[in-house]
Structure 1
Amino acid sequence: MTSVSSKPVVRVRKSGALLVAAVVALVGTLPIAGARWALAPVILIPLAVLVWALRAGTDVWPDRVRVRALLGSTTVSWDEVDELVPDGRGRVSAVLIHGSVLPLTGVTTANLPAILKAAGQEVSNPQSPD
């Protein structure tokens, strides 16, 4: 399952506000962590959030999609995806052909057309209920 290009066509990440909040929290914990060695592990929490904010997201190629988390990633071929389904909060999940659901980190209904275009899929607009 290799593509001609190793660089994704579309990369979707969490909000930049999360990244800023993680940096502020990290800077805020420095005095606490420096006060006593027993409090030093406190710095690990905002550090983990910072790494997660930088890493977590969804990468899209024409033949596959990869969802990245803090410690791992899941790659599936577009052939394995049955449909992309938005939830009530505007986030999007991929329903796979064997029935499992893969939440697409960072993907919302606003950037769903870009995801479909990168995957080479036709963008359809279902009629909204009146």
Structure 2
Amino acid sequence: MARHPEIVKFRQPVAVPIAAAVALFGSAAAVAQVWWTTPIMLIPLALLIYGLRTGVDVSPSGIRVRSAVTTRSFAWSEVAGFITDRRRVSLKLTDGRLVRFPAVQSADLPRLLAAGKQDLAAS
């Protein structure tokens, strides 16, 4: 599997998937006792998938925003700027839409811009 050194990845803190894995194994004890409690395992499983999958990948060619079930890519030409709200960052597109970044905080914005080799200002 080839690695792309120019891609910088922003992901959820590692505590999220670890806590989900612990909850998943803990719920297995309930399922082992009574089979109809199996749906209980869906909640920690969904949290595990969320924690492992969500994030933002930034490269000089663009930005990829990954949620638990979808992936959206944006070229830098579509980016109008960034909006910071307390600790969170949203991407403002040239058509006026806002895309909230999972796993990116205001303090990460300079690193995000450096990874994309961009000189855009935060609003």
- Give the structure-1-normalised TM-score: 0.85
Unaligned runs of 5+ in 2: none
Indicate which of 32, 53, 70 corresponds to 1:72.
70
Indicate which of 37, 40, 55 corresponds to 2:38.
40
Structure 1, residues 76-127: CA drift from partner, whole Å, max 9, x if none?
1111010011112x1100010111100111111121111100111237699x
Report SS of the residue matched to 2:95: coil
Report the Cα offset of residue 67 of structure 1: 0.5
Contact 1:113 1:123 in 2 (8 A): no
Partner of residue 108, structure 1: 105
C-alpha distance in 2 between matches for 1:21 and 1:45: 12
CA RMSD of aligned residues (A): 2.1
Query: Taking every aligned residue pair, what percent have the same amino acid on both sides?
Result: 35
Indicate which of 71, 77, 94 corresponds to 1:97.
94
Aligned length: 121
Report SS of the residue matched to 1:51: helix
1:50 matches 2:48: yes
Unaligned runs of 5+ in 1: none
Report the Cα offset of residue 16 of structure 1: 1.3
Report SS of the residue matched to 1:110: helix
Contact 1:81 1:96 in 2 (8 A): yes
Contact 1:59 1:65 in 2 (8 A): yes
Structure 1, residues 2-26: CA drift from partner, whole Å, max 9, x if none?
xxx9836200001112122111211
* Counterpart code for 1:115: L
